[in-house]
């Protein structure tokens, strides 16, 4: 069974109604990134950060996987499939994908603010000021903020290095260090990019300029046909 890696960004979840800051004026729900998605913001105004992510968590819980998520999950029947995602939602999981690496964390989890290994599933629940882990420290979103280390990067690089197929979906490949992962794929790997804003500038990729919900199911059909 061949190894297939799907690398996803905000575009794959945008069709499910998950708002992204890079599509507009650099804001998330009228907030500057520096005010809600950095360690400095957390130390300056933890309540604002918690309120912001509580709102985003409710958005995620209300959303549903779209055709792209479902098509990606279906690949596991035919390939040894990993999903590496920059997204913090759980739509890949709910669509049925089982092997997922979340580079930037997971909105449906909280963690200790003093011990990164203490992680808690909270589903759609809010995190409130005063909620603490067993060590007595304030719970924070299980999110990799700007300026923090992407701890899953090494794991993702190893997965990329073994890919026979790479499907990049809904990302501009502009957010580093995550975007640098595509350089770990071996020379024989066949690479595809599905994104409405994609262009021929991405060397070595077959470009599919369609929305994820349309382009991904079509690409999956093509791959399965080629493997018959």
Following DSSP, what letter does each residue of 60-92 receive, concatenated? HHH----HHHHHHHHGGGTSEEEEEES--SSHH
**What are the distances in angstroms from CA 96 to CA 5, 31, 188, 224?**
15, 32, 28, 18
Count other Cβ atoms within 10 Å, centred on residue 48. Answer: 14
How many angstroms separate the CA atoms of 112 and 150, rounded?
A: 17
Angle, in degrees to the nearest 10, between helices 67-74 and 212-227 = 20
Residues tagged active-site: 104
């Amino acid at each position: 069974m061949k190894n297939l890696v799907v690398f996803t960004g905000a575009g794959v979840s945008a069709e499910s109604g998950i708002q992204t800051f890079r599509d507009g004026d650099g804001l998330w729900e009228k907030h500057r990134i520096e005010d809600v998605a950095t360690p400095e913001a957390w130390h300056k105004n933890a309540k604002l950060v918690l309120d912001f992510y509580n709102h985003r968590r409710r958005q995620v819980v209300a959303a549903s996987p779209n055709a792209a998520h479902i098509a990606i999950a279906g690949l596991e029947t035919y390939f040894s499939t990993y999903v590496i995602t920059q997204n913090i939602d759980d739509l890949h999981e709910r669509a049925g994908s089982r092997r997922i690496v979340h580079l930037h964390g997971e909105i449906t989890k909280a963690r200790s603010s003093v011990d990164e290994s203490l992680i808690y599933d909270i589903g759609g629940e809010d995190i409130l000021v005063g909620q603490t882990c067993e060590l007595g420290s304030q719970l924070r979103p299980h999110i990799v903020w700007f300026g923090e280390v992407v701890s899953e990067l090494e794991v993702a690089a190893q997965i990329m290095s073994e890919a026979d197929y790479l499907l990049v979906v809904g990302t501009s490949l502009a957010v580093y260090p995550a975007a640098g992962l595509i350089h770990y794929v071996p020379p024989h790997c066949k690479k595809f990019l599905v994104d409405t804003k994609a262009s021929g500038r991405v060397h070595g990729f077959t470009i599919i300029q369609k929305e994820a919900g349309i382009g991904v199911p079509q690409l999956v059909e093509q791959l399965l046909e080629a493997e018959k």
